[in-house]
Structure 1
């Protein structure tokens, strides 16, 4: 059985995007934070994306390694991102490109099926898709990079829950710029 990991950058008040889908609050990541996310991408056997995150990531990372101003870390991330198979969940898209396939049906059933397979961990991104998986009890681990900024509103990392989810802290560390990296696992009874 594969582990499902939900990880993203958040503000201190818990948003992954400010109003208008603005992610400018995160600024350019430190080298250490960028390498943290690179290692996360390299460890993933399959990435699950909601439509909005797919539409943000895909145009940039599909070709970033070919841009003349790309750093060595960006080149490595672009290649790892492109090489990692992806499943995009959307009821509005007709097609996806690259190393991805589109699922327009029941996200919970498909995620459960993918988790039941053998292999490297699954990563999930996008607040709406992750909320669906969270409510279904499918997320095993949370990786949160909390930035020292308050935005007051926007897209929350966690949406409203139907029940409590108890967690165990696995790791905490601080990255340059005051970003706190925490990893939690879901406590199963």
Structure 2
């Protein structure tokens, strides 16, 4: 069975974006240092957006994910940059009750998110990448099998939390840790 993996950058205090909810990539609290870029290209090349893959000459189809899941706000960051499908090399699903279809290759999931994820997990294939955001991650928390957190050295005090919703208790256990030269710690946890 495929795993649902929440693979995301976070601050030490558990935020995945600033208070404005905009694209945090390359912000001073999420610097894209050469070692971080190399880690992503080596370990998760499929998570690099299509235009960046083309510019970098990345042709590796990826080893971990074949499907990306994201919430409306995360998807709209790509739309604001002119991308109706930032990950054309992956099966792409966006979870939103309000969003109209922007690209025929992107599936809009309007309801029954948990059922849709369970059906995806039961299919053959590579794992499912939950890219964000915090509200979607919280709503799918019972189905998340693995966390891969690129924990940066920053504290920002407020913003979009890793899990944005009411109290729920779920236990995960650490399975791997990689410390990059820049101080970014990649922490991998599996559901206990």
Residues 83 and 162 (structure 1 numbering): CA distance in 2 closer, same or farther, change over 3 Å? same
Aligned pair partner of 2:134 in 113, 127, 134: 127
Alignment of 1:147-162 (within 5 A): 147-160=152-165, 162=167
TM-score calculated relative to the size of structure 1: 0.80
CA distance in 2, matches of 1:176, 1:153: 26
- Secondary structure of 1:45's match? strand
Q: Structure 2: give runs of 5+ residues left out of the alignment.
A: 48-61
The Cα of 1:131 is off from its aligned counterpart by 0.7
The Cα of 1:82 is off from its aligned counterpart by 2.2
Q: If each structure's helix is expressed as a fraction of its own residues, which one has the higher value?
A: 1
**Matched residue, 1:90:** 96
The Cα of 1:57 is off from its aligned counterpart by 3.3
The Cα of 1:37 is off from its aligned counterpart by 3.0
RMSD in angstroms over aligned alpha carbons?
2.2
TM-score calculated relative to the size of structure 2: 0.79
Alignment of 1:5-154 (within 5 A): 5-22=5-22, 23=24, 24-38=27-41, 39-40=43-44, 41=47, 42=62, 43-58=64-79, 60=81, 62=83, 81-97=87-103, 99-125=105-131, 126-134=133-141, 137-154=142-159
CA distance in 2, matches of 1:122, 1:61: 24
Q: Structure 1: give runs of 5+ residues left out of the alignment.
A: 64-77
Extract structure 1 runs of 4+ deviating beyond 6 A.
Answer: none
CA distance in 1, matches of 2:33, 2:186: 13
**Matched residue, 1:75:** none
Residues 138 and 61 (structure 1 numbering): CA distance in 2 closer, same or farther, change over 3 Å? farther
